[in-house]
Structure 1
Amino acid sequence: MGNKFSDYIKYIFLDYDGTIIENAESEFLKEYFTLLSKKSGIEFNQLLQLIMSSVEGSIKNTANDKNLFEKFSIAISQCSGKSREYWVKLFYDFYENEFDQLSKIVKPKKELIELMRKTDKKLIFASNPLFPKIATYKRIKFAGLEPEMFLYVAHMENSTYAKPNPMFFKEITTKLNISPDECVMIGDTEFDMACEKVGIKFIHINEEEKWRQVF
C-alpha cells in the first residue's frame, strides 16, 4: 500500500460562505446590502446593481498592475460619478462600525472548525477576495476563528485576481512558494473548483469523509 493522498497534503485552502460558515453567500449579501443601503442613503436595488457591476468589472480586469481594491474603487467611481475618496471613506467607515452587526447571522460549521483548530496542516483562507482586509479579518472572527490561524488570508488588497479565475490560486501558491501537489481546496461552488486548473485538488464541503481525512 502506498501513502494515502492526505499524507501528501500540507496546505488546506478554505472557502468561507457555504464552507467555514453554513450560510450561503446570498444570505450574507442580502443582510450586507441592507445595512450598507441604510448607511449610504442609496436605495437597496440601486446600490446592489452599482456594487455588483463594479465587482464584475474588477474581476474581469485581469491587469496585474493594481490590486482588487484599487480596481474596484476605480470601477465604482466611474459607474457612480462619485469620487474614489468618497467610496473608500464610506466603505472603511462601514467596515469599522455597522459591519459588526452581520456577526449575528453567521452560523459556523462546527465540525470543520473543530478540525481546523486541531490540525498541523497549514491553513489558507481562500474565500473570494471581494472584501478588504479589515472586513475579511472580521468575517474570520464572526466564525469564532482568528486570522493568525491562517498561513495566508486572501483579501482585496493582497489579491490581483478573483475566483473563478485560476490565477487567484496561482498567485497564492507563487507568493508562498508552494507546490499545488501539496494543496487541497475545500469549497462549495464551481468557482472553488477552478483550483483544479492549476493542479490543486478540490473537495466539496458535502464530501465530509474526504475532508476529514485531509485534516
Structure 2
Amino acid sequence: MLRYLLFDLDGTLLPMDMDKFLGAYLRLLAPRLSDYLAPERFVKELLISTEAMIVNNNPAKTNEEVFMDDFFGRTGLPKEELLPIFEDFYRRDFPSLVHATRPSATAALILKKAITKGYEVVIATNPIFPKLAVEERLRWVGVADFPFRLVTTYEEMHFCKPNPNYYREIIEKLGCTETACLMVGNDVEEDLVAGKTGMRTYLVEDCVINRKGCAYRADFQGSLEDLLAFVDSLPKVT
C-alpha cells in the first residue's frame, strides 16, 4: 500500500523552464564572485563541480563535500572567503529568481490533500542545491511550513538524480519498502529512474523534460491538475 509520496520540485511542484531558470541563476551568481574569477570562468568551474556531484557514487561523501572538494581543490580559491559570499547570495539575491518560474496554486493543494489523507510527503528535489535555496523555492510554492517527512538537500544526501542510489538512500532514510513509495516528477531521465528501485512513478506533463528523447514508462501520468485529482482519489492512510 502507498504510504509515501515523493515530489520533485523544479518543473513539477514549481512549473518552470529549467534552462531559463538555470541561465538566470548563473547570470545572477557569477558577478558576485567576479573579484575571484571572471564570470565565464566561474560558470565553467561551477558546472564542472556540479557534474562531479551528479556522477559521484561514493556513499562516504555528501554532495556538499563532493562539490566543495572538487571546486576549491581545482580552483585553489580561498574557501573561507567565498562561502560567506555564497550564503549571502542565497539569502539576498536568490529570492528574486522567482521571476524565472511560474508558481501554481495547484501544487500547494496537492500537498495539502496528500498530508490531510495521512500520506508522508517527501520533497525529492535533485540535491545539487544547499538547504537555503531549497527552502526559498518551497516558499515560492507556498509550502515552506508544511510538515514534510524529508527534504533532500546537498548537505545531507550522498547521491544525485539520475543515480538510482539517490532513491535507495531516500528509502533507507524513510525506513520503508520501495513499494510503499510513489515518485512524482517531470523529468523522464531523472525522475522515472525511481522505477528501477521498485517505486511507482507519476510523470507530470506540464513541464516535461526528455532531453535524450528516451522511450519511457510511467505508472501514471498527467497534468498538475490531473495529479490533484489523482491524489484526491487515493484512499486515506489508516
1:122–1:64 CA distance, 2 compared to 1 (3 A):
same
Report the counterpart of residue 183 of structure 1 in structure 2: 181
State the SS of the aligned residue for 2:48: helix
Q: Quick check: 2:53–2:128 contact (8 Å CA) kept in 1?
A: no
Match of 1:76 among 61, 71, 75: 71
CA distance in 2 between partners of 1:38 and 1:68 (Å): 24
Q: CA RMSD in A?
A: 1.8
If the length of structure 1 is used for normalisation, what is the TM-score?
Answer: 0.89
Correspondence 1:18-29 to 2 at 5 A: 18-29=11-22
1:58–1:84 CA distance, 2 compared to 1 (3 A):
farther
Amino acid at match of 1:205: V
Give yes or no for the alignment of 1:148 onto 2:165: no
- In structure 1, the gaps of 5 or more residues are 1-7
Q: More helix per residue: 1 or 2?
A: 1
- In structure 2, the gaps of 5 or more residues are 206-221, 233-238
Report the counterpart of residue 61 of structure 2 in structure 1: 66
CA distance in 2 between partners of 1:214 and 1:183 (Å): 13
Q: Deviations over 1:153-212 (max 9, x none)?
A: 000111000000011111011011011111111111111111111111111102134663
CA distance in 1 between partners of 2:100 and 2:167 (Å): 29
Amino acid at match of 2:184: I
Amino acid at match of 1:112: A
Q: Deviations over 1:112-162 (max 9, x none)?
A: 331212222221001100111111111111222115331100001110000
If the length of structure 2 is used for normalisation, what is the TM-score?
Answer: 0.81
Match of 2:6 among 13, 36, 41: 13
Report the counterpart of residue 112 of structure 1 in structure 2: 107
CA distance in 1 between partners of 2:76 and 2:153 (Å): 26
Percent of aligned positions with the same letter in both sequences? Answer: 26
**How many residue pairs align between the two structures?**
208
Q: Quick check: 1:125–1:150 contact (8 Å CA) kept in 2?
A: yes
Report the counterpart of residue 212 of structure 2 in structure 1: none
Match of 1:134 among 132, 135, 138: 132
CA distance in 1 between partners of 2:99 and 2:139 (Å): 12
Give yes or no for the alignment of 1:174 onto 2:172: yes
Q: Deviations over 1:19-76 (max 9, x none)?
A: 0111022121111111102212244432221111101112222212221111101111
